[in-house]
Amino acid sequence: MTDQLIQDLQKRMEASVEVLKKEFSGLRTGRASISLLDPIHVDAYGSKMPLNQVGTVSAPEARMLSVQVWDQGMVTAVEKAIRESDLGLNPSSDGNLIRIPLPDLSEERRKELVKVAAKYAEQSRISIRNIRRDGIESVRKMEKDGEISEDDKHHLQDEVQKVTDSEIKKVDELLAHKEKDIMTV
């Protein structure tokens, strides 16, 4: 029961770290990444569809993304969706292929992206701390219900804290790596 509790808490905390990784992948660095276009939705066939459902996104060069649109009639809609996104990109089409050159990031924009990354990391830390709080409350309830002794309660609380410290360390390492990535010219 107690090992199950620790494993459950660790799984939930790791899920929070995975969410952070996904958020970080959407942050633009100096290199082209196909996940940069993930938030873009295109008006297609009467509804909003994710860009990757109307074409193939690839990164043929370090500073270039391309979208191979499957339906010729959708090229202008895809181009418009990319242009109107908040990413500051200027696509150009060539038949069914849309090329998206990535401009260099200014120093000011890099600093803004670092702040956004720090905000994402803080949200992840808060999530992990909330999971820790839930775990400690569960341990206290188990002791109150007579399922574990007071010594076991202290031992379990220490285990919960060790898992929490480990996951927060992962968040800090991911943030440091992402900051370095963003600030590299």
Parse the chain into domains and list their residue ranges. Answer: 2-26+106-183, 34-101
Q: What is the pLDDT of residue 28?
A: 64
Q: What is the pLDDT of residue 168?
A: 94
State the CATH class of domain 2-26+106-183.
mainly alpha
Q: What is the pLDDT of residue 86?
A: 66
Q: What is the pLDDT of residue 185?
A: 62
Give residue-wise pLDDT tens across range 115-134.
888 988 999 999 999 999 99
Q: What is the pLDDT of residue 116?
A: 82
Q: What is the pLDDT of residue 133?
A: 94
Domains 2-26+106-183 and 34-101 share a fold: no
Low-confidence ranges of the chain (pLDDT < 50): none
DSSP string, the chain: -HHHHHHHHHHHHHHHHHHHHHHHHTS--SS--GGGGTT-EEEETTEEEEGGGTEEEEEEETTEEEEEESSGGGHHHHHHHHHHSTT----EEETTEEEEE-PPPPHHHHHHHHHHHHHHHHHHHHHHHHHHHHHHHHHHHHHHTTSS-HHHHHHHHHHHHHHHHHHHHHHHHHHHHHHHHHH--
Give residue-wise pLDDT tens across range 20-43.
888 887 776 666 777 777 778 888
State the CATH class of domain 34-101.
alpha beta
